[in-house]
């Protein structure tokens, strides 16, 4: 049907747009982190050359998600996977190319839900906390 194709195209545009935005945002975050690390190391070298004595304590922190947030992440990934798989499977014009679209969609969803820091923190968990408050 014509509406199947239109719905599929809209969903794919939304998914691919979310992927590119998240990828660019994650790239910018990593670039800022690298610049901050370089700035700190340059500052240390400059201070050492001037003969200043400086004590520094470095702490490495690791964020571990709680069970509740991980369950929410898995459930939302499952729901999104089902939605995008059904959109591909019900679209008649895609017969013969469905596996390709399903694999691409799964790869994008895995990146968004499990690898993209920006998507999880700026989009997913903000929506989750908003729904919890209401």
Summarize the confidence of residues 13-20 as an average pLDDT.
Answer: 96
Tokens 């201070």 label which residue?
47
120: its two tokens: 């999880």
111: its two tokens: 């990146």
Give yes or no for a contact between 72 and 113, defined as CB atoms under 8 angstroms apart.
no
- Write the pLDDT tens digit of every residue in 39-87: 766 655 555 566 555 555 566 666 677 788 888 899 999 999 999 999 9
Q: Which residue has the higher pLDDT, 49 or 118?
A: 118
Alpha-carbon span 67 to 80, nearest angstrom: 20
Alpha-carbon span 56 to 108, nearest angstrom: 41
56: its two tokens: 């520094």
pLDDT of residue 93: 87
- Write the pLDDT tens digit of every residue in 83-116: 999 999 988 888 888 999 999 999 999 999 999 9
Query: How does residue 14 score in pLDDT terms, banded at 50, 70 and 90?
Result: very high
Alpha-carbon span 25 to 32, nearest angstrom: 11
Question: Which strand (E) or helix (H) includes residue 128?
Answer: helix 125-133
pLDDT of residue 49: 60
> Which residues in the chain belong to E strands, given as ranges?
none
Closest CA to 83 of 12, 2, 1, 5: 12
pLDDT of residue 45: 55
pLDDT of residue 56: 56
Cα-Cα-Cα-Cα torsion 17, 30, 36, 66, nearest 10 degrees, comes to 100
Tokens 């998914």 label which residue?
15
Residue-range domain boundaries for the chain: 1-24+66-134
pTM here is 0.76
Query: How does residue 4 score in pLDDT terms, banded at 50, 70 and 90?
Result: confident
């Amino acid at each position: 049907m014509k509406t199947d194709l239109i719905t599929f195209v809209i969903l794919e545009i939304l998914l691919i747009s979310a992927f590119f935005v998240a990828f660019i945002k994650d790239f910018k975050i990593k670039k800022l982190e690298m610049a901050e690390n370089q700035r700190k190391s340059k500052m240390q070298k400059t201070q050492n050359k001037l003969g200043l004595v400086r004590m520094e304590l470095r702490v490495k922190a690791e964020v571990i998600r709680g069970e509740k947030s991980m369950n929410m992440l898995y459930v939302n990934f499952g729901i999104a996977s089902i939605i995008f798989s059904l959109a591909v499977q019900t679209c008649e014009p895609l017969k013969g190319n469905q596996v390709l679209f399903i694999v691409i969609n799964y790869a994008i969803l895995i990146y968004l839900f499990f690898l993209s820091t920006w998507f999880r923190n700026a989009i997913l968990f903000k929506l989750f906390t908003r729904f919890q408050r209401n």
